[in-house]
Amino acid sequence: MPELPEVETIKRSLHPKLVGRKIRDCEIFYEKCIKTHAPEKFINGVRGATIENIERRGKYLKIFLNTAEILLIHLRMTGRLIISPKGDPVTKHTHVIFHLDNDLQLRFIDIRKFGTLYLLPGEELHKVRGYRILGPEPFGEEFTLEYFKKAVKERKKNIKTLLLDQDVVAGIGNIYADEILHAAGINPARPAESLNGNELEKLYHSIKRELKKGIENRGTSFSDYVDGEGRKGKNQDYLSVYHRQGCNCSRCGCEIIKTKLGGRSSHYCPGCQE
DNA sequence: GGAGTTGTTCCGCC
DNA sequence: AGGCGGAACAACTC
């Protein structure tokens, strides 16, 4: 499940392979993943373009083309972007192939076909709702403690669900939300408005710390995730609660519980998350 | 073949 | 009006 640390790791691994390269051609095997154009139009839009830069915003990847258009990609649950030599066999679930001007290809692979690709002029990014509503980047200047306190206070929904709202802060998904709340010692079911100043401050710092740890470990390869060169991350070896139900909490020794919250699996320690 | 999986979006309610 | 919870949806694996 690519969340901010995974998408950041993919961006870093693709950057040296893609920037400066020209897209010689493009093949689409599953048309529904292209959200902005008919397939032929999409192909015409990328063919011949040179890749100038790659950035991440929330869980989105932005590939800047010299045509002033941006290739915007969201991997959702199981999407992968992989650099492959052109001779490599095309595996099942490969939906789009970008042929580069060397012997490499960029392949979009997605078992569940939830991932989405958009091609649009830079000034039209806001037309993609999920992109438009994104809140501040957790490592950006806008994401201050003051901003965070204001965004959370007087909200009645539980704090776990609020952390997953991309308009509060961009990039947190189910794994890191559980890890962040454990690190901060806060029960995921707590109404956001019930958190005091001290707890909000702990939570704020835990968001930054856990996401940073995820990036340093090059992502969490719990099931499908690999980076742009097919390498797994190692953050799954350092998780405190996610998918650790039945194990003992490393902080207090209590048994980790798995519940449902807002329709999502939620893992926490009943001993030290109050 | 039903349950489980998650990020996003929609809808109805208060 | 806007926040909220719940459901729908994407499609596959086991």
Which is catalytic among the residues A59, A80, A107, A218?
A59
Question: Could you give phi then psi for residue A65, rounded to 5 degrees?
Answer: -105, 155
The answer to whether residues A128 and A151 belong to one domain is no
The answer to whether residues A46 and A116 belong to one domain is yes
The answer to whether residues A47 and A128 belong to one domain is yes
The answer to whether residues A150 and A108 belong to one domain is no
Domain assignment of residue A69, yes or no: yes
pLDDT at A104: 96
Å: A190 CA to C4 C1': 15
Domain assignment of residue A140, yes or no: no
Domain assignment of residue A118, yes or no: yes
Domain assignment of residue A99, yes or no: yes
The answer to whether residues A178 and A115 belong to one domain is no
Q: Which residues of A37-47 are buried (b: 16+ CB within 10 A; e: fewer)?
A: bebeebbebbe
The answer to whether residues A127 and A149 belong to one domain is no
pLDDT at A61: 94
Q: Which of residues 68-97 of A touch strand C (CB under 7 A)?
A: 76-77, 93
| pLDDT beneath 50, residues of chain A | none
Domain assignment of residue A273, yes or no: no
Proximity of residue A212 CB to strand C below 7 A: no
End position of a domain, from candidates A100, A132, A164:
A132
List % helix, strand, coil for chain A (3-state, nearest 5).
30, 25, 45
Å: A11 CA to B6 C1': 21
Structural domain harbouring A82: 4-132
Please, which residues have CB within 8 angstroms of residue A150's CB and are 6 or more apart in sequence? none
What pLDDT digit, counting tens, does each position of A213-271 carry? 999 999 888 767 888 888 888 888 889 999 888 889 999 999 999 988 888 899 999 99
The answer to whether residues A106 and A160 belong to one domain is no
A141 catalytic residue (yes or no): no
3-state secondary structure of A138: coil
End position of a domain, from candidates A72, A101, A132:
A132
Please report, for the domain that includes residue A92, its CATH number: 3.20.190.10
The answer to whether residues A89 and A169 belong to one domain is no
The answer to whether residues A155 and A177 belong to one domain is yes
Which nucleotide is nearest, taking the CA of residue A176 and each C1'? B6
Which residue's C-alpha is at the least distance from the C1' of B7?
A: A76
Proximity of residue A111 CB to strand C below 7 A: yes
Domain assignment of residue A274, yes or no: no
The answer to whether residues A127 and A226 belong to one domain is no
Proximity of residue A90 CB to strand B below 7 A: no
Proximity of residue A155 CB to strand C below 7 A: yes
**What's the CA gap between A31 and A159, in Å, rounded?**
37
Which is catalytic among the residues A3, A6, A179, A210?
A3
Q: Which two tokens stand for residue A188?
A: 């995921």
Domain assignment of residue A139, yes or no: no
Query: Please, what is the Cα angle at A51 between A79 and A26, to 5 degrees?
Result: 60
Nucleotides in B strand less than 7 A from protein CB: 4-10
pLDDT at A120: 92
A3 catalytic residue (yes or no): yes
End position of a domain, from candidates A132, A161, A184:
A132
Tally of domains in chain A: 2
pLDDT at A42: 92
The answer to whether residues A126 and A154 belong to one domain is no
pLDDT at A232: 86
Å: A20 CA to C8 C1': 42
Which nucleotide is nearest, taking the CA of residue A116 and each C1'? C10
pLDDT at A154: 85
Please report, for the domain that includes residue A208, its CATH number: 1.10.8.50
pLDDT at A191: 92
pLDDT at A111: 85
Q: Which of residues 153-182 of A touch strand B (CB under 7 A)?
A: 164, 166, 173-175
Q: Which of residues 115-134 of A touch strand B (CB under 7 A)?
A: 128-130, 133
pLDDT at A222: 75
The answer to whether residues A250 and A185 belong to one domain is yes
